Amino acid sequence: MAEAVALVDTLQNWTVLDKIIIPTKNPDKKLIFGKGNFEALTEKIKKLPHVTAVFLNVERISSVTKKELEDAWGVKVFDRYTVVLHIFRCNARTKEAKLQIALAEIPLLRSNLKTEVSHLDQQRGGSRYIMGSGETFMEIQNRLLREKELKIRSALEKLRRKRSLLRTQRRKREFPIISVMGYTNCGKTTLIKALTGEAEIQPRDQLFATLDITAHAGYLPSRMAVIYVDTIGFLTDLPHNLVESFSATLEEVAYSDLLVHVRDITHPETALQKASVLSVLRNLNLPSHLLESMVEVHNKVDLKESYEPTEENALAISALRGHGLEELKEEIEKKILKATGKKILTITVNLQGPQLSWLYKESAVQEVEVMPDDGTARVKVIISNSAFGRYRNLFPNSKFFVP
């Protein structure tokens, strides 16, 4: 119920006047309430003079049901899908987010069309051809929708290619990619802001504040540069594959080196939220090591007195107050090194030799400490196992140690 209210409150100028919990039957069925409940509900709605809409907190209702309820109550009726879409519409800033919303609306338009046409047909008896075009009204509308959909898809495809290009470039430059994901409003954006120190990032106390996937650079304790990817929040009972913004998030998740799962442990339904996120992830056929290495973060601990995670391996933090971030970075670094098959080493090189320039080319040099007395330098590098093997073949007498 709290979440349903939060969804409505996220929309400007919308307020909840009254709320009620009643059982629903199969939402695919035309009648989703029992007769008695339906009558009680109708009476309740009629008694509220200022009500302008009814929000049924179910995944989706069919357009037939929607029409029937709207006729009975004389107000608009929304389900989770339409409310979330509306939030998206209000929050969309970029071209991509706007296109994604337009695409997510197509199935709604299509099912509305069906209801509309069946009404027309009842009125006029059977389908008719429009002005000798050889197409019925339904066929024309369907064709227009199809054309619209194709246009949106191809525009989105262009943007997606751009994103995949960026991804390839990130890969080439060997920045490990860390996807920060979790339920909506759990603090993903706040955490990325804290980890990267990027001042322009704006977290908001709102469901679906973030609608675009963005990448932000940050540093781990050994000064390894990484990319944090901010993603769209999850929500229970939503057809995630239908909403393209989610698909893009899920695609991005599959390409990362590490997943960080942020949880708002102050939320009354935090356990349910976790289960919901994990169940979407499990259905994605992600490489199993990504799921196994996932870092679970318990956020907003500043609001709880002396909080201790019950889950093993979970890290307690406050993204807002900056608690526990050093431990989190250490943990991320450990897992990134493992995932990418890299190690951090300090290698002693002779400054007269070619070692240093070789290391600059083949590894990520973090620090160079020159020893003026003997013409050597200690070079701290992040290097892949294979590159280090080659280094040792080329320079067999080299000295190195793990810092």
To the question of whether residue 212 is assigned a binding role by annotation, the answer is yes
Residue among 210, 231, 318, 355 that touches Mg ion (CB under 5 A): 210
Q: Any residues with CB less than 8 A from the CB of 309 and at least 6 apart, and which?
A: 265, 298, 315, 316
Both tokens assigned to 376: 């050597």
Binding mask 295-334 for ligand GTP (x = CB under 6 A): ----xx-xx--------------xxx--------------
- Cα–Cα dist 331/326, whole Å: 9
DSSP line for 184-227: TTSSHHHHHHHHH--TT----SSTT---S-EEEEEE-TT--EEE
From 31-39, 145-153, 189-197, 266-274, give the range in contact with Mg ion by CB under 5 A: 189-197
Told to check if 274 binds ligand GTP by CB under 6 A, we report no
Residue among 82, 141, 185, 256 that touches ligand GTP (CB under 6 A): 185
From 46-54, 58-66, 149-157, 181-189, give the range in contact with ligand GTP by CB under 6 A: 181-189
Residue among 203, 228, 328, 332 that touches ligand GTP (CB under 6 A): 203
The C-alpha angle with vertex 387 and arms to 386 and 388, in degrees rounded to 5, equals: 90
From 69-77, 159-167, 206-214, 338-346, give the range in contact with Mg ion by CB under 5 A: 206-214
Count Cβ neighbours within 10 Å for each residue of 281-320 and write b for 16 or more, e otherwise.
beeeebeeebeebbbbbbbbbeeeeeeeeeeeebbbbbbb
- Cα–Cα dist 214/227, whole Å: 10
Q: What number of residues does the chain have?
A: 403
Residues facing residue 364 across a β-bridge? 382
To the question of whether residue 94 is assigned a binding role by annotation, the answer is no
Whose tokens are 């320079």? That residue is 395
Residue 256: which of ligand GTP, Mg ion, none does it interact with, CB under 5 to 8 A by kind? Answer: none
# of chain residues touching ligand GTP (CB under 6 A) = 23
Q: Which 353-392 residues touch Mg ion, going by CB under 5 A?
A: none
Told to check if 91 binds Mg ion by CB under 5 A, we report no
Q: Which CB, 167 or 188, lies closer to ligand GTP? A: 188
Both tokens assigned to 242: 């239908």
Q: Which CB, 77 or 187, lies closer to ligand GTP? A: 187
To the question of whether residue 382 is assigned a binding role by annotation, the answer is no
Q: Residue positions in the annotated binding site?
A: 182-189, 208-212, 230-233, 299-302, 318-320
> Which residues here bind ligand GTP, judged by CB under 6 A?
184-190, 203-210, 233, 299-300, 302-303, 318-320
